[in-house]
Structure 1
């Protein structure tokens, strides 16, 4: 697993050697690719020298009027806009992808609820992060920490292209929930 250097200015590997974060943004990996395509994508990225894959855990909150759904027809949450009810089947697929990535030595950097850039994200006025309030975001973070905390090759990205603004506290609570059950995973 990666960790911060002693001076807290760099990432290092397990041996303390500086780690060059060379990422590909496969934002929709968890949603758009089937298992065969996932293996092909991860293998190709490895052959190209990418050591990190950045992904959105839940995709866009809405894109062209569509809610997020993966190739298996599963939504991340059992109730629209309610992050307190994660869909276990959706997260089974997430774990399958994480295991494949680990088997070929790729680090996965996950944006759990991407803030977005153009109104399609989870953050903002009337959006799921606000509707679920800080305590709901903390609870979702706890779910993620409990479920995905054992994966040593996972780190977390809070936010998105925009400043979280009014959702800063919601992101903080999401991160604290993850950290409670996955203290070794890095969060940025």
Structure 2
């Protein structure tokens, strides 16, 4: 049997006693919608790629009443056990926002809302049964707080989880949401924000990271743009470059504890190509989505971060003197300054450097940029390839 024990330290997650980056794949519907053999195939692939956590939802969107069925948690436990035995961390959303009043999903339609005592009892039972798999519990999924009722529900649910486990607890917030009521904040161990899938507001990757980092708790961007997802109004699908950009902009701006990746077809567990919603472009199947390249990019990023000890970082935008472009993100620790540039450019940095090298993030080729050291400034030229780059400066 495998199994993991992921804990929170001062500046990172610790997996089985070793510093690690939380790197989750998102399979919200997969845990309850997949057949067992498909679920195992999916998990083995993600494990082999380098993911160490799986985000899943325990309150099915199709019918929230399913949680009342006697054998519902039995079916989920069979699949969560495999996550654990493969050495990954189950990340369990206990109560999705669609069955709680006063969220974006229920503010105009309360037909799917469940009584608060039923959800409290469900939360207790989930913790009781799944605590042995060393999970992370997210009390809510895609949550905003548009009324006092939402705060009442989620404060009780979060409190119930926290009082019945010693595992990390948080709440998965809706896209762009930053307000975490005090009644809930007091029970969570880290912030799990969502920069989301709006093509026109991808600056939320770094803006929200900055905002939550200031609050003093660990920060995760639990939902960057899903690879392959798109909206009908745009006719655009996010590609591996978008995924890399969202990952590194989040990470270097304060989301130092980790990232939640997702692929369109897996989060929704699509089994027949072409499934659509009112807003989204048609879906890939989960098997096709499993082969998307962006997953390898984020796993490569995790390997880099752990191998080169990119822990204990602090956002350091003041190092970048030019160009004045917030898409370029900078962070540093006692050993390194790390810069992500999503486009080829020249940069002037307010820093003295001992050694500078870079990685072409599209090809993963290592290169040495042209550098000019003058007046305690470092001028770096990365115009030798037309793609995004990671620049590592060693002091």
Please give the TM-score of this superposition, normalised by the length of structure 1. 0.73
Q: Structure 1, unaligned stretches of length 5 or more? A: 69-74, 78-85, 116-120
Within the candidate set 144, 153, 175, 2:158 is matched to 175
Q: Are 2:168 and 1:164 equivalent residues in the alignment?
A: no
- How far the C-alpha of 1:104 sits from its partner, in A, is 0.8
Q: Is the 8 A contact 1:140 1:177 kept in 2?
A: no
SS at match of 2:144: coil
Q: Is the 8 A contact 2:57 2:94 kept in 1?
A: yes
Q: Which residue, 79, 92, 95 being the options, matches 1:97?
A: 79
Say whether the 8 Å CA contact 1:12–1:18 is kept in structure 2. yes
Partner of 1:132: 115
Per-residue Cα deviation, 1:107-133 (whole angstroms, up to 9, x for no partner): 111111222xxxxx223342555x413
CA contact 1:138–1:175 (8 Å) conserved in 2: no
Listed as ranges, the matches of 1:16-165 within 5 Å are 17-60=18-61, 62=62, 67=63, 76-77=66-67, 86-115=68-97, 121-123=98-100, 124-125=106-107, 126=110, 128=112, 131-133=114-116, 135-152=117-134, 154-165=135-146
Question: Is the 2:139–2:158 contact (alpha carbons within 8 Å) kept by the matching residues of 1?
Answer: yes
Separation (CA, whole Å) in 1 of partners of 2:53 and 2:111: 29
Q: Distance in 2 between matches of 1:89 and 1:10?
A: 37
Q: Distance in 2 between matches of 1:164 and 1:156?
A: 19
Q: Identify the match of residue 13 of structure 1 among 12, 15, 25.
A: 15
The structure-2 alpha-carbon separation of the partners of 1:127 and 1:105, relative to structure 1 and needing over 3 Å to count, comes to farther
Provide, for residues 57-79 of structure 1, a one-character-per-residue CA deviation record: whole Å limited to 9, x for no partner. 1221x4xxxx26xxxxxx633xx
Q: Which one of 166, 174, 179 corresponds to residue 184 of structure 1?
A: 166
Taking structure 2 as the reference length, the TM-score comes to: 0.37
Looking at structure 2, the residues matched to 76 and 97 of structure 1 have their Cα atoms a distance apart, in angstroms, of 17
Whole-Å separation in 1 of the counterparts to 2:160 and 2:111: 20
Structure index of larger Rg: 2
**RCO comparison, higher one (Cα < 8 Å, 6+):** 1
User: What CA distance in whole angstroms lies between the structure 1 residues aligned with 2:127 and 2:40?
Assistant: 25
> What residue in structure 1 maps to residue 8 of structure 2?
4
Q: CA deviation at 1:105?
A: 0.7
- Cα distance in 2 between the residues matched to 1:150 and 1:37: 24
Aligned residues: 157
Structure number with the higher helix fraction is 1
Partner of 2:337 in structure 1? Answer: none
Cα-to-partner distance string for 1:164-188 (whole Å, 9 max, x where unaligned) = 333122112112222333x222111
More strand by share: 2
Flag structure 2 segments of 5+ consecutive residues without an equivalent: 101-105, 171-395
Rounded to whole Å, the distance in 1 between the matches of 2:55 and 2:41 is 16
Change (3 A) 1:180 1:128: farther
Offset at 1:30? 1.9
Question: What's the Cα RMSD here?
Answer: 2.1
